[in-house]
């Protein structure tokens, strides 16, 4: 095994003008002699799994009323938070932008 490795190392070394040798082209590599009965080196593809689809139950009409009231409650809470922010900081859309010192130098 060591002899084979040493021979391969020597073949890989560039000697003389060998460093400028062109690599084998695609068509040239196709014409190289290869084994006729090569074994598959990579493992086979994994077996495909059977996927089962489960249909979800449709919600009953009584549950629709509880879910539809929830967004209304959330929007009321959001409106209350917005109102508090407007009270604290004011409404930016209704005010004109004041001239700042940095914008006057531009």
pLDDT at 103 over 60: no
pLDDT at 95 over 80: no
Q: What is the pLDDT of residue 54?
A: 78
Tokens for 38, please give them: 């090569």
Alpha helices, DSSP H, located in the chain: 2-12, 26-30, 61-89, 101-104
In this prediction, residues 15-35 reach a mean pLDDT of: 67
Question: What pLDDT, in 10s, does the model give residues 28-85?
Answer: 777 766 665 555 566 666 777 777 777 888 777 665 555 556 667 778 899 999 999 9
Q: Is 106 helix (H, G, I), strand (E, B) or coil?
A: coil
For 55, left (φ over 0), alpha (ψ -120 to 50), or beta? beta
Q: What is the CA radius of gyration of the chain?
A: 38
- Cα-based angle 33, 36, 40 (whole degrees, multiple of 5): 115
pLDDT at 100 over 60: no
Select the more confidently predicted residue: 4 or 60: 4
For the chain, the straight-line distance linking the first and the last C-alpha, in angstroms and rounded, comes to 76
DSSP assigned state of 105: T
Q: What is the pLDDT of residue 53?
A: 76
């Amino acid at each position: 095994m060591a002899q084979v490795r040493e021979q391969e190392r020597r073949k890989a070394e560039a000697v003389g003008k060998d460093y400028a040798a062109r690599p084998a082209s695609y068509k040239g590599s196709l014409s190289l002699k290869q084994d006729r009965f090569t074994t598959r080196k990579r493992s086979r593809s994994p077996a495909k799994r059977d996927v089962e689809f489960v249909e979800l139950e449709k919600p009953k009409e009584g549950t629709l009323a509880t879910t539809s009231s929830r967004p209304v409650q959330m929007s009321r809470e959001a409106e209350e938070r917005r109102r508090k922010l407007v009270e604290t900081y004011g409404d930016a859309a209704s005010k004109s932008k004041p001239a700042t010192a940095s914008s006057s130098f531009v």
